Amino acid sequence: MRHLLNTLYVTTQGAYVSREGETVLVRVEHETKLRVPIHTLGGIVCFGQVSCSPPLMELCGERNVAISFLSEHGKFYARVQGPVSGNVLLRREQYRRADSESTSAEIARMVVVAKVANCRTVLLRAIRDHADPARQDQASALEAAALRLARQLDDLRQPAPLWMPCAEWKETQPGRTSTSSTISSPRRRKTFSSASAAAARHSTTSMPCSRSFTRSSPTT
């Protein structure tokens, strides 16, 4: 497991980032403003007119610390990174799982569960840290929203097939109704829409034009 480190953001215009042993120095007008050990950094981001010394780039390349150069407003320019070694077996397994609908759906489900759980945590923290008797109505609304998210989490934590007939889905969801005839996955809907678009293009291109245009030669 990779250990997440800090990222150094240099935003002072005219700054010069250099190396001193195993330490990263940030100088502004020949005055040292910051010293950071290289082993605590996972990346360096330079905004605008910020320069880096070649010895610092060598150190960052050896320690797998990426240096990114952006404009003063955040537009990406370039990235300096040391040698990268790839794992062929890992990449092959990733491609296999990406081609599997069930595996991709499981990964997507876990991502959605994490997002919903984070949203619920934010709501609960807001209720706890900003409790005010004068705003009881707002607190009640937040509690109701957190309760809805908790119910959605319970549903999301239970794996479900990518699609099933509406009648079977109603049996697994008591008390809920649906007006659609089938419950399909976004991938299935995308396939259907793509097929419809292809059929529309085919019908448009294969149908002869109803108008005819003639070109007459000028009279002499």
Whole-prediction pTM: 0.45
Cα-to-chain-centroid distance, residue 159: 23
Residue 4 tokens, joined: 């997440």
Determine the residue type at 190: K
Sequence-ordered list of residues with C-beta below 8 angstroms from that of 166, at least 6 positions apart, any chain: 178, 180, 181, 182, 183
- DSSP character for 161? -
CA distance 112 to 108: 6
* DSSP H or E segment with residue 29: none
Each residue of 142-166: pLDDT tens digit? 888 989 999 888 888 887 776 666 6
Beta strands 51-52; 16-20: pairing state? parallel
Mean pLDDT is lowest, of 1-5, 28-32, 80-84, for 1-5
Rank 81-85, 118-122, 169-173 by mean pLDDT and report only the highest: 118-122
- DSSP character for 3? P
**What is the per-residue pLDDT for 166?**
64
3-state helix, strand, coil in the chain (%, to 5): 50, 20, 30
Torsion (CA) 49, 54, 56, 60 in degrees, nearest 10: 100
